[in-house]
Amino acid sequence: MRVVIQRVKSSSVIVDGEVIGKISQGLNLLVGIAATDTEVELDWMTRKCLDLRLFPDQDKPWSKSIMDIQGEILVVSQFTLYGDCRKGRRPSFSNSAAPDIAEPLYDLFVSKLKQSGLAIATGKFGAMMDVNIENDGPVTLILEK
């Protein structure tokens, strides 16, 4: 599982001209599911996303988690995170999970995040999406399990 985690001032997802997910201060998560992922990877990634200290307080720049600030999370499926561009001119997505495997795992990841009690918004799995991200900092990290 691979997640690009971004600290944002705001973020939204538009599908067919309609805003389907929108958050204010919090985290934007671009989520890639690998063909070999299981619930074990989801559990680890859920805890990491909720507990990682990415927000400042008055004294230290990296002292608060999304849970500490009660921020919001926007989760967007992103199979292209497993695109392999080492050979040729066209990316290979053979390491990405097939949609019938990835979608239930993506939905389970979202469900696990919702158990935190935070406001969780999502994109639409498999759709062409316009993702608007107002990156704060900018802070962008890549998490992999």
25 included as an active-site residue: no
Which of 79, 93, 115, 125 does the annotation list as catalytic? 79
Note whether 27 and 5 are within 8 A (CB): yes
79 included as an active-site residue: yes
> Which residues are CB-contacts of 109 (< 8 A; sequence separation ≥ 6)?
31, 42, 45, 46, 75
Pairing verdict, β 18-23 and 2-15: antiparallel
CA gap 75, 12 in Å, rounded: 10
Paired tokens of 82: 């497993």
Paired tokens of 26: 């919090």
Task: Give residue 86's region: left, alpha or beta (phi > 0; psi -120 to 50).
Answer: alpha
Paired tokens of 100: 């019938």
Which of 78, 93, 109, 122 does the annotation list as catalytic? 78
80 included as an active-site residue: yes
Which of 36, 70, 80, 115 does the annotation list as catalytic? 80
Active site residues: 78-80
